[in-house]
Amino acid sequence: MARDLLVLLGPHGVARASELAGQVDRHTLGRWVADGRLLRPHRGVLAAPECWPEWRTRALAGVLATDGTLSHSSALAAWRVAEDAGPVHVSVPADRRALHSPGLVVHRVQDLVTDRLGPLPVTPLPRTLVDSWGWAHGRRGHPRAVERARAAVIETLRDRRVGAARLRAEATRRPALPGRGELVTLVGLVEQGCQSELEIWGVREVLQGPGMPRFVQQHHVVLPTGVVRLDAALPELKVAVELDGAAFHGSVDARERDTRRDVALAALGWVVLRFSYRRLTREPAGCRREILQVCRARETLLTRR
């Protein structure tokens, strides 16, 4: 019987009750729900209990219950730029009533536009990012949601899945968006060359300030082994600043790779200054002071030549 139910419900184990009415009478469906063979997670929707732990099943159930579009953090998950956790978020046109159901958050919105990812209708990626940002920075948001929204913006801009101009335009279209100014600032920092939260911290707290030279971010240098990108560089002085996050530079292999790259850069006359996450965040003034000292010494050396 379980196998027959899955065939009846479809590949994701969820369907509208109205779609099953022509195949199974409503009394039988009611008995299956009472016996625990079926779940009724939302009004008018039936699901297989064994499929319900799957995020895609729960997301599709939310869509079927509301005839809506996945949005906010749920659309981020569908676009594969965030984890698929928490309640399912869907958006519906503003003139529709919002369904209240456990595990479901319904947003009534103007100008709803829909893309499609397999069986799931989703909001376009730029709108998804901005919606998630506004929810995270609003009164019902929390620090983890803010962290997730920031990471999604950085990742999609860095990987060129969305353009800075498009994302900025989407934010401009929403003047009342919570945290809008901070979003525009973040877009500018990534556009400028910051590729991670650590680089953003480094730029704001270390590389900028009184007396600091103007660094070029993501500067390309051609080595015999290929092209490398420097986190921040002064090409005229051949001084590079590398901001080492533990996630990417903590292993033995990563340190060996960094050492080989630094040696290759030194052979071309570059001085590479590496700062760990711990030092950058705990001693920004000390890091800034050391960078300035090296830059001044480098300037003096080059002037004497």
How confident is the model at residue 2, as a pLDDT? 47
Average pLDDT over residues 56-66: 97
How confident is the model at residue 169, as a pLDDT? 96
Question: Which tokens sit at 134?
Answer: 């506004």
Query: 111 phi and psi, to 5 degrees?
Result: 55, 55
Pairing of strands 271-276, 239-244: parallel
pLDDT above 80: residue 71: yes
Q: Distance between CA 73 and CA 81 in Å, rounded?
A: 9
Nearest to 131 by CA among 154, 108, 158: 108
Pairing of strands 88-93, 104-109: parallel
Tell me the per-residue pLDDT of 270-298, one tens digit each, with 9 for 90 and over. 999 999 888 888 999 999 999 999 999 99
Average pLDDT over residues 202-217: 90
Strand partners, 240: 233, 272
How confident is the model at residue 251, as a pLDDT? 54
Architecture of the domain spanning 200-304: 3-Layer(aba) Sandwich (3.40)
Domain extents in the chain = 2-57, 66-192, 200-304
Lowest mean pLDDT among 12-16, 69-73, 209-213, 238-242: 209-213
How confident is the model at residue 245, as a pLDDT? 66
Looking at the whole model, is its pTM more than 0.75? Answer: yes
Taking each helix axis from N to C terminus, what angle separates 180-192 and 125-137, rounded to the nearest 10 degrees? 130
| Selected residue with higher pLDDT from 248 and 156 | 156
How confident is the model at residue 249, as a pLDDT? 41
pLDDT above 60: residue 266: yes
- Cα torsion angle, 29, 32, 33, 38, sign: negative
Pairing of strands 14-16, 104-109: unpaired
- Residue 179 · residue 134 · CB < 8 Å: yes
Lowest mean pLDDT among 44-58, 121-135, 175-189, 248-262: 248-262
How confident is the model at residue 1, as a pLDDT? 42
Nearest to 74 by CA among 16, 132, 22, 124: 132
Q: Distance between CA 150 and CA 82 in Å, rounded?
A: 11
Q: Distance between CA 297 and CA 278 in Å, rounded?
A: 26
pLDDT above 60: residue 247: no
Confidence of residue 250 (pLDDT cuts 50, 70, 90): very low
